[in-house]
Amino acid sequence: MSSKPFGLIESAKNGLKVFTFVVASADFERKLIQSIRVFPIATALMLVIAYLFGGFSDRTDPYIARDTVVLILKIFIAIIPTTFVIFFILADWLKKSEGKRITAAQSKFAFTDPFKLPSQIMHGYKLAFITGRPPTFTGLTGDRYSADDLATCTLNPEHIPPVMDCDCGFYAFKELRDAQFELSINPGAFLIDVDLFGVGFEYGRGFKAESQLVNSLKIPNRCMRCKIFAPIRFVTTYKMGFNSFAYWKWEVRCRMCSATFKEEDTVEFSKMNKHLGISARI
Ligand SMILES: [Zn+2]
Ligand SMILES: [Zn+2]
């Protein structure tokens, strides 16, 4: 549920490291001010070194020629402060564009007052993975939840989701086709039908709300391995996660693709709803 990092210039491929780190403009400015403090110390150090190596003496064979000392001093007096000024202008530009980005995100609200609750029922569709033992819903961002759950905020424990400027809260698309499109680019996920409750925000294409009830889980038409035959049950495999931890991932497979699985690594369709906590009313 972390917010999207705002990169100064997205040039990770060509190795311009200075410009690829994730920059929150305030943080950038703070670091800049901190580094300015080093400037007088560095200047003093330069002068001492120049003095020790004879840069200021009238000797004919100093370790450092007088011209070199003058040149370095010029750099310190002119070029470095100019660089700082340029970086401050850059920091200001960053701040402005970040502000614009936040305003743009806020204008996506369909309501001018986000606390004016939509009077319609917040029904929607979304994607979830099924992971762990016992099998549990896991959002695309990694948060695990039961079929009837309250949202929590992983970024700020003081939040009671949903919070307007934060990513916390349960999301769902209004239209099935939006969720289906999302599914086509997340082939390991399942499509679920949900109702959202509590405080909710309405966006152009979906909702974000306080609590969520999963009504049903759509079983895919094809085996998730061979993509040829119809699936007959859920099986689980142990996967390596992106963050170096391993987890059990559930998918549906056909008779052939699930033949080698042990009894305890399979779940029948009818029993999966019970594991996930989807009530029998649907
Ligand atoms: Zn939050
Ligand atoms: Zn198969």
Q: Which pLDDT score is estimated for 207?
A: 92
Cα 177 to ligand 2 centroid, rounded to whole Å: 25
Q: pLDDT tens for residues 220-258? A: 999 999 999 999 999 999 988 766 578 899 999 999 999
Q: Which pLDDT score is estimated for 281?
A: 53
In the predicted structure, residue 163 carries a pLDDT above the cut 70:
yes
Ligand number nearest CA of 160 is 1
Short-list 245, 246, 282, 237, CA closest to 264: 237
In the predicted structure, residue 266 carries a pLDDT above the cut 80:
yes
Ligand number nearest CA of 256 is 2
Q: Which pLDDT score is estimated for 97?
A: 79
Residue 162, preceding bond cis, omega within 30 degrees?
A: yes
Ligand number nearest CA of 168 is 1
Q: pLDDT tens for residues 80-112? A: 888 888 988 888 888 777 777 766 665 565 555
Cα 9 to ligand 2 centroid, rounded to whole Å: 44
Short-list 22, 27, 25, 26, CA closest to 10: 22
CB atoms within 10 A of CB 145: 20
Cα separations in angstroms, 155 against 158, 169, 236:
9, 11, 30
Q: Which two tokens stand for residue 262?
A: 């042990």
Q: How would residue 22 be classed by pLDDT, with cut points 50, 70 and 90? A: very low
Pairing of strands 190-202, 148-150: unpaired
Ligand number nearest CA of 159 is 1
Residue 70 phi, psi dihedral angles, 5° rounding:
-60, -45
Ligand number nearest CA of 259 is 2
Cα 191 to ligand 1 centroid, rounded to whole Å: 25
Q: Which pLDDT score is estimated for 237?
A: 94
Cα 238 to ligand 1 centroid, rounded to whole Å: 31
Cα separation, 168 vs 153, whole angstroms: 5
The secondary structure of the chain, three-state, reads CCCCCCECCCCCCCCCHHHHCECCHHHHHHHHHHHHHHHHHHHHHHHHHHHHCCCCCCCCCCCCCHHHHHHHHHHHHHHHHHHHHHHHHHHHHHHHHHHHHHHHHHCCECCCCCCCCCCCCEEEEEEEEEECCCCEEECCCCCEECCEEECCCCCCCCCCCCCCCCCCCEEEECCHHHHHHHHHCCCCCEEEEEEEEEEEEEECCEEEEEEEEEEEEECCCCCCCCCCCCCCEEEEEEEECCCCCEEEEEEEECCCCCCCCCHHHEEEHHHHHHHHCCCCCC
Cα 159 to ligand 1 centroid, rounded to whole Å: 5
Ligand number nearest CA of 156 is 1
Cα 156 to ligand 1 centroid, rounded to whole Å: 5
Cα 166 to ligand 1 centroid, rounded to whole Å: 5
Cα 282 to ligand 1 centroid, rounded to whole Å: 32
Lowest mean pLDDT among 94-98, 138-142, 160-164, 271-275: 94-98
Residue 232 phi, psi dihedral angles, 5° rounding:
-120, -20
Cα 98 to ligand 2 centroid, rounded to whole Å: 47
Lowest mean pLDDT among 65-69, 145-149, 170-174, 192-196: 65-69
The size of the chain, in residues, is 282
Ligand number nearest CA of 143 is 1
Short-list 96, 49, 97, CA closest to 72: 49
Ligand number nearest CA of 255 is 2
What type of residue is 239? Answer: K
Cα 158 to ligand 1 centroid, rounded to whole Å: 8
Q: Which pLDDT score is estimated for 26?
A: 65
Short-list 220, 208, 276, 212, CA closest to 253: 220
The vertex-198 CA angle with 192 and 203, nearest 5°, equals 65
Average pLDDT score over the chain: 81
Q: Where are the domains of the chain?
A: 17-106, 122-276
